[in-house]
Structure 1
Amino acid sequence: MSVFTLTAFVIGSMIGSGIFSLPQAFGRTTGPLGAILAWCIAGAGMLMIALVFQTLSRRKPELDSGISAYVRAGFGEYAGFLSALGYWTVCCLGDVSYFIVVKSTLGALIPAFGHGNTLEAIFVSSILLWLVHILVLHGIKQAASVNTVVTVAKIAAIVTFILVVIFAFDADLFSADWRGEASDAGGLFNQIRGTMLVMTFVFVGVEGASVYSRYARNRRDVGIATVVGFLSVLTLMVMITLLSYGILARPELATLRNPSMAGVMQAAVGSWGAWFVGIALIVSVSGAYIAWSLLAAEVVWSSSKAELMPRFLSRENRNKVPAAAVWFTNGLIQCILILTFFTEEAFLFALKLTGSMILIPYFLVAAYGLKLAWSGEDYGSKEQRHRDLMQAGLATIYAAGLIYAGGLKFLLLSSIVYALGTPLFIIARREQKKPAFTLAEAGFFILLVIGAGFAVYGLASRTIVV
């Protein structure tokens, strides 16, 4: 893959449905000042994480499967497996959410689709799921080419929105509630805190190029694609957020129906603007779905090749596509799609949970970058080492702060996913005729099981509510 294709993967996986909901998410929580400060903090923090990925791609070119490879190298086999499992779960549930968002958007035209989880919606989603499945099985290059085309199309649509809103921008309206004093979130600190996790979710996908580093024509392209893709998406998201305050008052933004960009566009140019954004959303989600489908299968395949997951998941077809991983991933997505018919609220809860789970792999990757720079391994220049040490230190602190902001309940609830998925790791270890765990890993697994037990009890007794 060229640097352009790798960059398209980063942008395509970051821009999904979340970017179309930013006006409402920020309007509900903060005013323009809080939004600016929040983007500065989150942008700087996520830039540090992106730079850590860039550094690791250059310092450790032999680690060519992204997050799980870095975590494994830094903290052992079981930690690498848990990172891969968490990331894979996020990919699968993210794909399901894209189906629901598209069908919910079309529900305005086709009432049978409802909110995206009716029988008709699930049936059509299932057809689309297996059509993309066939596309991927015919070759990663073909799927990557489709993703690149869709990524260009959705960026063009978002840039069009930005240009239209710039011409309709009202500076007096923008400054009317500068500090967001009427916000239900309270003071400026609480306003900023209320937006941080929202921004983390829309940044997920920044690691896309590192996951596909084995396909890169040049290893240095991985780092370039990561930083360029991140800065491009950050620019778009900041402009969408801030310009919206000049079209509608903050309380009006807070009550918009998602995708709230449609409401902003409608206020700027009329009803055709809402239709334009709706079409752009469908195109955007389609591209993000392809990107995340490829990422999910690649994570499973690379983990199997690294002997963190059972061997059967590394089987490839004649097109050199990880067919077993693709079948395994899409099988899970199909099961979750069916479950959404019965438990929409439970699905949305799981989506929040797995979205927050990405913070743990990010923290571990940042910590590995910090460990590498601290030890001085593979460093010849003190100046470069000190720079990387500062970047990795800031990235680690930022990721740890977000985990803290998410709260203890998410750590407890994520332990359910990790505990239920651990048998895959045990099977892989038995295939290698090795003990399932080291002493330290066994202790950590016990803690996971205890945490999962507390989480299940909390859900049953309703002491844990999301």
Structure 2
Amino acid sequence: MVARQDQKLSRSALVGLVVGSMVGAGIFAVPSNFGQSTGGLGAIIAWGIAGVGMLMLAFVFQTLAQRRPDLDTGIYAYAREGFGSYLGFATAVGYWMGACLADVACLVLIKATLGQFFPVFGDGTTVAAIAGASVLLWATHWLVLRGVKQAAALNTIATVAKLVPLAIFIVVAAAAFEADVFVLNFRGDDALGHTSLAAQVRGTMLVTVFVFVGIEGASVYSRYARRREDVGAATVLGFLGVLCLLVLVTLLSYGVLLRPELAALPTPALAGIMAAIVGPWGRAFISVGLLISVLGNYLSWSLLAAEVMHSAAKNGVMPAFLARENAREAPMAALWLTNIVIQVFLVLTNFAEYAFTMALKMTGSMTLLPYLLVAAYGLKLAWTGETYESAPHERRRDQWRGGVATVYAASMLWAGGLKFLLLSAILYAPATALYALARREQGARIFSVPELLVFLVLVAAAAAGAVALHNGAISI
């Protein structure tokens, strides 16, 4: 179904989806997460790596939007076109799971923030916090069912509102910045001086992935764009703006508090830094800004998660029931499944030791495979020369961009470590039942021989992860 004209999104709305998806839970916690792993030098290197890698990925999305306008469902469609149905499915379900986990991180952070003023919510994982988060979950469910256009408009308003407290924080932190403190934090050595710079940088990598997840927001919603060229422009513009915000927030924080103090800050870290600068009212100010920001971020992820499942179902890789829409063209069935899964994850946060950090890093881990496959498809397209017949001079440039983005995504999978690969496999393997159901509906063979080998490796990894969880070798 083609979206009606009154459901079409402008370039500013598409930029709002990109920025709204990226600016949320992560940016308010970044100073503490970085403080736990590295100092100023490691942060500069980490943002440099992430900035180059993600910029190349943004360029890949921009190029694919221009060269394959027929693939109007974004991240899932690119992987399927390049590498077949099962890896297309894996991209869709991995991105969807990552979006669900991002929503969980948002909900936990909202309740943890309220917990600073209302102790009943604690760290965001108490029974009262989970109950309150569940109410918010299903209220948003009702909002999205009223239509994507209305929800996207609200997201644009929330995106503008969330940038105001961040801008004020940057101004205040810049005024309070002390060069001596920054110098003490620069090397990031631990108490014994044993932490290598490479280890420090590696410790931040999944965090950097998490805060950039959402870069593909405009691509996922490309079928709603008024003009196709707005999709790529919105992706690059949104990314560059968010990168500047993240670098400023991180580096300015190293000039306000010493690294051990940053590492010890409770979530949200920005509230603690603001309180250290201006007093208790600063905590309340940032907390209000965070609530606005994360609510908008949560709405963005609700939209993206349901849209990916809905689009995959329309293209035959998910079961047909997930393609159902209501009278307002909202992806009704996909939204129900998405929010049921989020509800289950919310309940599980009560058993996690550090629920917010776990949800944050698992989001990064689950979305890396989709990013890797999209980057690899961009590289494949440029390498084979498909669609470049009329513009051969652009081919080498796009080969470099696709190659760098592919290496970056693969490196991030390695940097995340074995634990998160195994935990991701535990989610990927059982979700394959959806793929089998879809193939059965079509009367098609479930796996080709290469796809069966991929699935068997995935099952083995999931089994190893389950055993490791049971034995306590890894934990959540």
Normalised by the shorter chain, which TM-score bucket?
Answer: over 0.9
Q: Which residue of 1 aligns with 2:5?
A: none
Letter in 1 for 2:366: M
> Any idea what the Cα deviations from partners look like across 1:20-48, whole Å, max 9, x if unmatched?
11111222222222222221121111111
Q: Which residue of 2 aligns with 1:190?
A: 199
Equivalent position SS for 1:383 = helix
The whole-number CA distance in structure 2 between the counterparts of 1:49 and 1:73 is 17
Cα offset for 1:402? 1.1
> Any idea what the Cα deviations from partners look like across 1:133-183, whole Å, max 9, x if unmatched?
111111111100110000000011101110111122222322234322346
Q: Which residue of 2 aligns with 1:254?
A: 263
Mapped contact 2:78–2:374 kept (Cα < 8 A): yes
Mapped contact 1:30–1:185 kept (Cα < 8 A): no
Letter in 2 for 1:16: G
Mapped contact 2:101–2:362 kept (Cα < 8 A): no
What is the aligned counterpart of 2:85 among 77, 90, 105? 77
What is the aligned counterpart of 1:314 among 310, 323, 326? 323
Mapped contact 1:99–1:125 kept (Cα < 8 A): yes
Q: Which residue of 2 aligns with 1:269?
A: 278
Mapped contact 1:87–1:358 kept (Cα < 8 A): yes
Cα offset for 1:463? 3.2
Q: Which deviates further from its counterpart, 431-440 or 191-200?
A: 191-200
The whole-number CA distance in structure 1 between the counterparts of 2:86 and 2:156 is 34
Q: Which residue of 1 aligns with 2:16?
A: 8
- Residues 394-405 of structure 1 aligned to structure 2 (within 5 Å): 394-405=404-415
Mapped contact 1:340–1:347 kept (Cα < 8 A): yes
What is the aligned counterpart of 2:299 among 290, 310, 313? 290
> Any idea what the Cα deviations from partners look like across 1:172-205, whole Å, max 9, x if unmatched?
3222343223466613222222222211111111
What is the aligned counterpart of 2:451 among 412, 420, 441? 441
Q: Quickly say closer, same or farther: Cα 1:351–1:40, change in 2 above 3 A.
A: closer
- Residues 286-435 of structure 1 aligned to structure 2 (within 5 Å): 286-341=295-350, 343-345=351-353, 349=358, 352-379=361-388, 380-435=390-445
Q: Which residue of 2 aligns with 1:34?
A: 42
Cα offset for 1:314? 0.5
Q: Which deviates further from its counterpart, 99-108 or 53-62?
A: 99-108
- Residues 199-218 of structure 1 aligned to structure 2 (within 5 Å): 199-218=208-227
What is the aligned counterpart of 2:74 among 66, 88, 95? 66
The whole-number CA distance in structure 2 between the counterparts of 1:258 and 1:340 is 15
Mapped contact 2:73–2:222 kept (Cα < 8 A): yes
Tell me, which stretches of 5 or more residues in structure 1 are unaligned? none
Cα offset for 1:364? 0.9
The answer to whether structure 1 residue 154 and structure 2 residue 166 are counterparts is no
What is the aligned counterpart of 2:115 among 91, 107, 130? 107
Q: Which deviates further from its counterpart, 19-28 or 175-184?
A: 175-184
Equivalent position SS for 2:186 = coil
Q: Quickly say closer, same or farther: Cα 1:336–1:190, change in 2 above 3 A.
A: closer
Q: Which residue of 2 aligns with 1:116?
A: 124
Q: Give aligned pairs, total.
A: 465
Letter in 1 for 2:204: T
Letter in 2 for 1:335: V
The whole-number CA distance in structure 1 between the counterparts of 2:359 and 2:121 is 22
The whole-number CA distance in structure 1 between the counterparts of 2:260 and 2:355 is 29
The whole-number CA distance in structure 2 between the counterparts of 1:450 and 1:244 is 43
Q: Which residue of 1 aligns with 2:152?
A: 144
The whole-number CA distance in structure 1 between the counterparts of 2:137 and 2:474 is 33
Cα offset for 1:111? 2.0
- Could you tell me the TM-score, scaled by structure 2's length? 0.94
Q: Which deviates further from its counterpart, 362-371 or 255-264?
A: 255-264
RMSD of aligned C-alpha atoms? Answer: 1.7
Q: Which deviates further from its counterpart, 450-459 or 295-304?
A: 450-459
Q: Which deviates further from its counterpart, 278-287 or 108-117?
A: 108-117
The whole-number CA distance in structure 2 between the counterparts of 1:374 and 1:165 is 46
Equivalent position SS for 2:444 = coil
Q: Which residue of 2 aligns with 1:56?
A: 64
Q: Quickly say closer, same or farther: Cα 1:276–1:371, change in 2 above 3 A.
A: same
Cα offset for 1:258? 2.0
Letter in 2 for 1:131: A
- Could you tell me the TM-score, scaled by structure 1's length? 0.96
Cα offset for 1:431? 0.8
Equivalent position SS for 1:378 = coil
Cα offset for 1:103? 1.1
The whole-number CA distance in structure 1 between the counterparts of 2:230 and 2:157 is 19
Tell me, which stretches of 5 or more residues in structure 2 are unaligned? 1-8
Q: Which residue of 1 aligns with 2:463?
A: 453
